[in-house]
Amino acid sequence: MNLRRTTTTRRTLAALALTTGLLLSVAGCGGDGDGEEDSPKGSPTSASADKDGGKPSSSETPTDQVLAESKDGDITVTITSAVRDQGGFVNVNGTVRNDGSRSWMGAEWQSEETELAVNGGSMSGASLVDQAGKKKYLVLRDTTGRCLCTKFTRLRSGDSASWYAQFPAPPEGTSEVTFQVGAMPPAAIEISEGE
C-alpha cells in the first residue's frame, strides 16, 4: 500500500511539474509582461507580422476606424482593419462584443472542416468572399491544423474582445470583399494596402 501511495504521489508531482513548465513557457512567449499588448490578443505570428514588435505600420488602417459592423442577436462584430501585406495575405482585425445576459464562447463560429476542429470557439469559420471574382477565401491554418486566427475564451455579458484572422489575398486588383462568420450577416469591407 505504501508503494501505491508513493507511485501516485510521484505521478502527481510529475504532472504538476509538466503543467508548471508549460505555463512558464506560454508566459515567456507573452511579451514584456506588463499586461498591455501592442497588438490585438492573438495577433498573427506568421511571416506577415510586422518586424517592429507587432506595432501597426503607418500605412495600416487605424484600429479605431470602423470598416464594417455586423450584428446577430446579442453579438456584434466590428471590423477595424483589412490589410493586404506583401507576403500574399490579408490580415483582418476587429472586436466582438457580447451585449447578452449569458456568456459567449464563439462555438458557432468555428469551422466545420474536420482539420480545424481543434480550434474550438474561434474565427476559424470566417471567410472573405470576392463577389466579382466569384471566389471564397478561408482562414489560413498551420501544418498542425491551428487556424491563423483568434481562439476565444469566455466572453461574459457586456465584455468585448479583439480578434484577428488571416486569409490568402485576393488578386491585386481586388479591394472590395465580403467578410462572413457564423450566422452574422455578411459585411462589405475594403482591403487596404500594407507595406
d(CA 48, CA 88): 9
pLDDT confidence bin for 143, thresholds 50/70/90: confident
d(CA 97, CA 104): 9
Burial letters 154-176, b for 16+ CB under 10 A, else e: ebeeeeebbbbbbbebbeeebee
Cell numbers at residue 194, please?
Answer: 500594407
Please compute the mean of the pLDDT values over residues 158-163 and round it to a whole number.
92
d(CA 167, CA 91): 7
**pLDDT tops 90 at residue 11:** no
**pLDDT tops 70 at residue 52:** no
Please compute the mean of the pLDDT values over residues 113-130 and round it to a whole number.
78
Torsions phi, psi for 5 (to 5 deg): -65, -40
